Amino acid sequence: MSKLVGFSIKMQNVKTRILVEVNVYNEGLKIRQTLSKFPPDAPYDVVVVDDGSTDDSPEYIKEFKYPVIRHEVNLGVGKAIKDAIEYGQKNDYEILVVMAGNGKMQPCDIPKLLEPILTEDYDYVQGSRYLTEGRKDNLPLFRDIMIRIFTWLVSITTRFKGTDVTCGFRAYKLRIFDDPRVNIRQHWLDRYEVEYYIHYKVLTLKYRVREVPVGMIYPKEKRNYSKIKPFSGWWSMVKPWIFLPLKIKE
């Protein structure tokens, strides 16, 4: 605990330009609860990407005065992340943190994601609910099993012994996207594909990658805990791990 407190103090003097992107699609009160947890003196900026919400999420977002990128219709989390990357590049940010606005991820974990980049020059930091000090409260058993299997298969493909490839709480240097070998502007990357495309690229192109423990807190009722559709959603996540090694896509 003392290490994290000490790092939080150092964070107040960080000169690096850091952007935190919060993805939102029909989260209702969850987005208000998430945004209310950001400290007012945080050494980073926040941008909200509203991916075509049709509920009262936009009204809750307005309460916080953060910049908002809004899609008139739902285009997918991949398009939201791509828009945040473009926004970060245009506004001279150096690091991007990606998180969901559904209440599972906590802003208090952001320093854990940033520390390896700021102090050890890592390029990409993956959050993990499975590392010591990570949390996976109320994670449904079937989802737990599928995450472990998927992560094991990815570790075989990339030879990176990760523990949680599906955790969407991540941070990376935006200079990664200046690399012509990392082409996120392809249209097939507009949904869950882009997260795993980036993951595959940073590992196979030998960028410096590390995992850190974070919390992924699921609702106790275990209903409506995910927007990932059983078949199309998982196919979207698996697709890059087939298309890229086989060179079907670049």
Which pLDDT band, with edges at 50, 70 and 90, does 190 fall under? very high
Convert the pLDDT of each residue in 6-40 to its tens digit: 555 466 566 899 999 999 999 999 999 999 999 99
Mean pLDDT, the chain, whole residue set: 92
The pLDDT of residue 234 is 78
The pLDDT of residue 232 is 73
3-class SS letters over the chain? CHHHHHHHHHHCCCCCCEEEEEEECCCCHHHHHHHCCCCCCCCCEEEEEEECCCCCHHHHHHCCCCCEEEECCCCCHHHHHHHHHHHHHHCCCCEEEEEECCCCCCHHHHHHHHHHHHHHCCCEEEEECCCCCCECCCCCHHHHHHHHHHHHHHHHHHCCCCCCCCCCCEEEEHHHHHCCCCCCCCHHHCCCHHHHHHHHHHHHCCCCEEEEECECCCCCCCCCCCCCCCCHHHHHHHHHHHHCCCCCCC
pLDDT at residue 100 is higher than 70: yes
The pLDDT of residue 221 is 73
The pLDDT of residue 43 is 94
pLDDT at residue 213 is higher than 70: yes
pLDDT at residue 122 is higher than 50: yes
CATH architecture under which domain 2-243 falls:
Alpha-Beta Complex (3.90)
Domain ranges of the chain: 2-243
Convert the pLDDT of each residue in 138-188 to its tens digit: 999 998 999 999 999 999 999 999 999 999 999 999 999 999 999 999 999
pTM attached to this predicted model: 0.91
